[in-house]
Every structure is written in C-alpha cells, then in structure tokens.
Structure 1
Amino acid sequence: MKKSLSSLLVGALLAVATGVNASDDIATKIATKVADSLNVTVNKVVPSPVNDIYQVYSDKGVFYVTADGSKMFHGNLYDLDNGLTNLTDQAMSEVRRQELAATAGTTIDYPAQDEKYVVNVFTDISCGYCRKLHNEMAEYNALGITVRYLAYPRNGRNAPAWQQMEQVWCAADPQDALDNAKANIKMSGTSNCDAAQNVAMHHSLGGSFGLSGTPAIVLEDGTMLGGYLPPAKLLDVLEK
C-alpha cells in the first residue's frame, strides 16, 4: 500500500513538472517564432483567456499566437459575456501603469496647482492635435489635471521632429523649449546630451503600448484613451 501511494505521488509530481516544462517550452518556442518573424523584442508570453492561444507582450504591442506557433492575430480581444470588456486593454493597463511609473524624472511636466489627476501624454511637436492640447494647458491645469509629457515623434528617428524633440529634452529649460517647439518657433541648441536618450526610451515605450498616433493619453491606472480630448471632456472621463 505504501509503495503504491509513493508511486502515485512520484507520478503526480512528474506530471506537474512535465506540465511546467511544457509550458516553458511553448512560451520559448512562441517567443522565438514571433521575434524572428516580426523582428520585435518579446518581453513576456503568457496563456490568454482563450484556450490554446498565448498572449505575447512585445515592444510593438500585444499579439495572440496559437500554441504550436503557426498562427497569429493582432488586435483586441473582447469578452462577449461581460459587456464587451476589452481583455487586451485590461491586460495592458497594469503593464502600462508599471512602466510609466518607471519614467519618473524623464518627462516634461505641467503641474496643476490644485492637482486632482495626473495624465501621461505621448506627444509629437509636429502633430496638430498635440499643439491644440498644449494650447489648452492652462484649462487642463485649472481643472486640477497635471500633464506629464513623453516624447513620441511618430514618423520615427529620421524625421526632423526626432532631433527637435531631443533638443527640447536637452534644453536648460525643457518646458520653455517645448512651449516654443509647439508654437513652431525654430529650435536651436544641442541634441547631444544624456536627456536625449529619453526620446528613444519614450518612443520605444509608446510602441510597446501599441500607439497608432498622437496625442495618446494614458491615465494613472494604465488605461489608454484614444487621441485628443478637450479639457472638460477629459475631466468627465477622469471623474468616472
């Protein structure tokens, strides 16, 4: 009887161990396949809410891949049984919250005197709606909304806006430099400083969040809003 029980315990432990190794093997296989096929950096692979589908977190957003690594889709996954909950955005919210917390000291901030809310805004100095948002900064601040700017020159490293945003972040007074850049005042000064690295870091972060344009507003809890919102409308969203 004792021998039989021992055999059962060993068998159970082996089954658990095999299951863990199999999951690790699947995750490694999927990570390698996605990285090689899409030329992206894979940060994490976990089971998705759908059986035999894995959720892949990368520097270009979230992908869903079959367990055998042969099929993939990119987009939002919704829960039809729970009010069309966006499960993809729900999963990304905590990731965004943690990664944005790590950007402290690298953003250009416009603090509200009576701060009630803090929003993170990925911005591009060549973006029309980014300039519109910036022109209304006093209204956001008056409503108790602090704005933390992250750099996201949406046309990439070879676009003029990239170097200009490096100049902004390198300036002795980055806030004043950003005000001028948003007003289309010709930039001067160096783009070669330690702070210039923040532009590349923010841009990479935005890519991992799946940004498709600017401005992109991310709330403190990691929720990402789609594009520009007027001050009163943003306050309404925050109060809910």
Structure 2
Amino acid sequence: MAKPVNPGRLRAATCAIALLLGASAALAKPGDDTKADAKALSDAAEAAQRQLHQSFTNLKFEEFGPAPVKGTIYQAIAGGRILYYAPASEHILFATVYDKNGVNVTALAQEASTRKRLQTIDPAQALVIGPSDAPQVIEFTDPDCPYCRALDKFWAAKAAEGKPVRRLIYFVSGIHPDAAAKAEHILCSPDQAAAFRTIYAGTAPKALEKCAAGAAKVKADAETVIKLGIGGTPTLIADGKLISGFQQAELEAFLDGKKETTDARR
C-alpha cells in the first residue's frame, strides 16, 4: 500500500495542484473579462493557495494561478497506466495525485488495478527460476532488452548476498525481432535456467533450440502481455506493485522488506 510521503519532497505535486485548481479555472468563462469576474477568480486562486499550503506547508510557490483544466476530471486506465481526462477543456493529464495527507492516491489506484489484472495471470504458465521459499516476483522480460539483462545480473548479485527471489517469467517477444526465437530456445533447453543465463549474458548460440511446447509458451506469453497492457521491459510485479523498468532502489526496498519479514519469523 502506498505510504504518506514527505511534503518537503513533493515537487511532483505540481500535477496535483493543477487538478486542485480545476474548479477555479472553471470560473473563467469565455468572454468574461469584467473586473468582478477577474476579482472572483483571483480570490478563488488565493483561497486555493492558502488551502494547499495548509496541507503541504513546506511547498514554496514561485507561481500560482488557474490551470487550463476545466470541469469534471475523470480517471482512466490505458495500457495499465493511470491517466486523467477533462472533457470540458479536452486535457489529458499524466499526473500523480496526492490527497491532503500526502497519500499518493494515483499509486493506490494503480495497485488496485494491478491486483485485479493479476487474476488473469496463470502462474502455471510461467518459467520459474529461483528457490520455492524465496520472495516471489512476476517478471515480463525480453532476451534482447539491455535493461532486462542488467536486471538478471542484479538478481544474481542479490542471490549471492543471500537475498534470492523466485521469478515467474513471461517473455515479451514483440519488441525485438529475435526475442521470440531466443525465448523459445530457453524454453526448449534441458536446463532452462542455465539457458536463460547464457542468453541474457549475450552469448546466444548460433543454432537456437526449437520445440512445439516452447513456441506455444511464447505465443501464450504474448497473449498475456496484450491482456495486461505491458508496453515495456522489464516490467515487474512485486507485492502487487507494478514496477516499470529496472528500478534498483524499489527492488532493493522490496528485498529488504522481505528479508526483515523472514528474519522476524525465525
């Protein structure tokens, strides 16, 4: 679950400010340029600024005024991402929204959506690498993605430190032209984990293994990727949280949290 953030670090709250000011912007009607309307708009902006400053006292405003967004704002999910739409002014906002307590409500919505979409994943279809008693992550990966290869090295380093993970792997084969063939090679190899490490080390053999089961798995993974709206690699799901890209700090925090939980039970 998303945790309250430090208000002093809320540089990203600019987007939230834009949303909060939507109602103020709606006061500016086309053609209204009378002094009364201008004063009302100025008063509304001042009131909004005071209200926002009460919630986020450490924020320093260089500028503050009506946003271009008008009317009701709707929340939508497209490709697994949260976005906001204001039909009255036809604005799309790729924003992070915080409530008055500093809670990232966009992240909460994202996590709820992720949990719902997780129900469509069949763990039995995954290529599993890692010990059964380790923390589990769902990983969407591409054999030719450089960040996916860096992630594989990271997992190996963490395992050497005594922090292994159990990886439920699904291949994304629609980005690089050779990804499907390399994924099939891994799946058709007698030792899939070893073949995975070799391919991700960048040392693919000239003759790649082929088999019907491997081809079927690659196809099934592609369907899962489309169903979940996965658009980039690596994409991970850890503790129900969607992590886009190789975000080392987030993965370190995930592993440290799991390590503390494990130690507490001993």
If the TM-score is normalised by the length of the shorter chain, which range does it land in? 0.5 to 0.7
| Corresponding position of 1:15 | none
Q: Secondary structure at the match of 2:237?
A: strand
Name the SS of the counterpart of 1:189 in structure 2: coil
1:59 alignment partner, one of 79, 94, 97: 79
Structure 2 segments unaligned to the other structure (5+ residues): 1-69, 262-266
Contact 1:120–1:149 under 8 Å retained in 2: yes
Aligned to 2:131: 112
Q: Any residues of structure 2 matched to 1:29-48 within 5 Å, and which?
A: none
Q: Which runs of 5+ in 1 are unaligned?
A: 1-49
Deviation at 1:78, TM superposition (A): 1.3
1:55–1:119: structure 2 CA closer, same or farther, 3 Å change rule?
A: same
Of 106, 112, 116, the residue aligned with 1:98 is 116
Report deviation, 1:182: 1.0
Measured at CA, do residues 51 and 140 of structure 1 come closer, stay the same or move farther in structure 2, by a change above 3 Å? farther
What's the CA shift string for 1:136-181, capped at 9, x where partnerless? 444444325322222234xx35622233224434556543432231
TM-score by length of structure 1 reads 0.59
C-alpha distance in 2 between matches for 1:196 and 1:113? 23
Matched to 1:197, the amino acid is: K
Give the alignment's TM-score, normalised by structure 2.
Answer: 0.55
Distance 1:182 1:118 in 2: 20
Q: Read off the aligned partner of 1:130 and give its amino acid letter.
A: C
Give the distance between the partners of 1:82 and 1:51, measured in 2 at CA. Answer: 24
For 1:71-126, what per-residue CA distance to the aligned partner results, in whole angstroms no more than 9, with x for missing partners? 2424233115122x3323321212222323423122222233542x2122222212
What SS does the corresponding residue of 2:124 show, helix, strand or coil? coil
> Cα distance 1:172–1:232, how it changes in 2: closer, same or farther (>3 A)?
same
The answer as to 2:219 corresponding to 1:200 is: no
Root-mean-square deviation (Å): 3.4
Change (3 A) 1:129 1:67: closer
**Residue of structure 2 equivalent to 1:131:** 149
Q: CA deviation at 1:188?
A: 0.9
* Identical amino acids, percent of aligned pairs: 21
Q: Is the 8 A contact 2:123 2:168 kept in 1?
A: no
> Who wins on radius of gyration, i.e. which is larger?
2
Q: How does 1:64-79 map to 2 (within 5 A)?
A: 64-67=84-87, 71-79=90-98
- Deviation at residue 135 of structure 1 after TM alignment: 3.0
Deviations 1:30-62 (A, max 9, x none): xxxxxxxxxxxxxxxxxxxx9722222233633
Where is the strand percentage greater, Structure 1 or Structure 2? 1
In the TM superposition, what whole-angstrom CA distance separates every residue of 1:6-34 from its partner, at most 9, and x where no partner exists? xxxxxxxxxxxxxxxxxxxxxxxxxxxxx
